[in-house]
Chain A
Amino acid sequence: MRYLVLLKAHTVPNSPPPPELMMAIAALGEEATTAGVLVDSQGLQPSSAGRRVSLSRGQLSAADGPFAEAKELISYAVYDVRSREDAVQWTTRFLQAHHDLWDGWEGEADILPTFGPTDFTSLES
């Protein structure tokens, strides 16, 4: 099964991320890639660099970031794993590294199963 993991931060310390955290993230990414489970991932620039297109009350509009939400999307990752719990464990490690190495950082990660293409049975019965 394939899962999209969306990492969001709501509290980010004023200090830049410590190099140890960056190293831990790189090592974790390499480990997951080697294991064949991490098939795609990217970090995302702040929403201040982004733009949002909306449809509301019949009106299309576009607006520059930053977006109003308290949570900023930080990165996405796509995992190809045997069960949802595997994706949970890989993601837990990611957040554990933040916990261990970047004091004050708070956030969350949503783990969402994708429809198809490797999901052969769930919709077809």
Chain B
Amino acid sequence: MATATEAVEAVWRIESGRLVAVLARITGDFAAAEDLAQDALEVALRQWPRDGVPHHPASWLMATARHLATDRYRREVNLHRKLTLLASHAENATIEDPMSTVDHHLDTPLHDDLLRLIFTACHPCLGIDAQVALTLRTVGGLRTPEIARAFLVSEATMSQRISRAKKTLTRQDIAFALPAPVELPARLEAVIAVVYLIFNEGYAATAGEDWTRPELCSDAIRLARLLATLQSEQAEVHGMLSLLELQSARMPARRGADGTPVLLADQDRTRWDTLLIRRGLTALKRAETLGGGPYTIQAQIAACHIQAADIDGTDWRRIAALYTVLGHLTPSPVIALNHAIAVGMADGAEHGLYLLDQLQHDSSLANYPPLAASRGTFLRRLERHKEADDAFQDAARQTDNTASQQLYQRQRHHPEETET
């Protein structure tokens, strides 16, 4: 049985974004809008379990926020009046009710408001952690305890992070506005980075027993779908969406019946999610039509995997080429590592091993388990078993993730298994 609170929270996930967005446009103040929206939610949490969910919850929430705003405005006018009396000025303060135009605003298109909301929540004056928290809270409609749980911090910490972020926006007088055209590419890149970070946080927790925290992945995908509608002419938005849909499509096969991780090579591909594959490939086509970029290339790589019958039937040569291009656009040791793996799969283990050994001098990969594990795989293929065992032992030592440790240990003891 669903509780009334669950019903309120569900309505909130649906309504939070546009409620805050419309309120912020009217007041021009993100923090005040967020406060008002949260206060309206508190009223709903008190009343709905008693009276039932109203027939038109969106209008109810907006009307309630409006009443709260009017109350607050009256209190402030009264306070102002009293202060002026104290200061011996008898004239009445008259300020126009800022919420009087709310009904008119409700009828105007919401897409731009939602975009403003996203760009404000992901404003570069905030740290990335704060951007993530504000985005999940306002656009995603998650409540603070849920966000705290997802990011493995206490509620108090998350709550502070959010209120500090709101204060920063107010203090720096950040307008609730779309970025100027000249700023748009950089600002959009920041938004995409926030969504991608949320996804990755869910996809691979770096520590602990949880192999995936899939709810965050789903939250990120929904955000990406929203962004792809709101910024439908931007290639990389579709590229990122495609990447997330395709990576999620593989998720059901990433864990075996006993809960342990299953590597790509060993995954039961019939468990890949065909609906997400179809959506991912559609988004990729759109991204390619619009021009592409680093996320699009990563989606193209994911598409190579998703369309292959098995690991040996994968177009590794194309994947290696795509990693070469990606490495030029956004050079990084991890991309170089993935390039080396693809080359090894395309041209033979000794070629892969040669490239991997070049990377061993890169200090940023010194304790990166996938490097040792990939060496182990290629060494195993070359039947250099003792060195392969040592490499997997290194990989297991380098990770804090229990599931990954077990995985690497298994590779060490079962030489017939391969990893890519």
Contact = CB atoms under 8 A, between A and B. Distances in A.
A82 B252 CA distance: 17
A89 interface: yes
A5 interface: no
A82 B6 contact: no
A83 B255 CA distance: 22
A95 to B, nearest CB: 10
A97 to B, nearest CB: 10
Contacts of A125: 259
Contact of B273 (A33, A90, A117): A117
Interface in B206-245: 212, 214-215, 218-219, 221-226, 229-230
Contacts of B257: 124
Interface of A: 1, 33-37, 39-40, 78, 80-86, 88-90, 92, 96, 99, 116-120, 124-125
A78 B215 contact: no
B56 A84 contact: no
A118 B2 contact: no
Given A39-B275, A116-B252, A117-B271, A34 B14 contact: no
18 contacts: A33-B225, A34-B226, A34-B230, A35-B17, A35-B225, A36-B223, A36-B226, A80-B221, A82-B10, A82-B13, A83-B10, A85-B10, A88-B7, A117-B251, A117-B275, A120-B212, A120-B252, A124-B255
B361 interface: no
A78 B279 CA distance: 13
Nearest to A99: B55
B255 A120 contact: yes
B32 interface: no
Contacts, number: 88
A78 B274 CA distance: 14
Given A36-B224, A36-B226, A117 B276 contact: yes
Interface of B: 2, 6-7, 9-11, 13-14, 17, 53, 55-57, 111, 212, 214-215, 218-219, 221-226, 229-230, 248-249, 251-252, 255, 257, 259, 271-276, 279
Contacts of B275: 39-40, 78, 117
A78 B53 CA distance: 23
A13 to B, nearest CB: 20
Contacts of B9: 83, 85
A80 B218 contact: yes
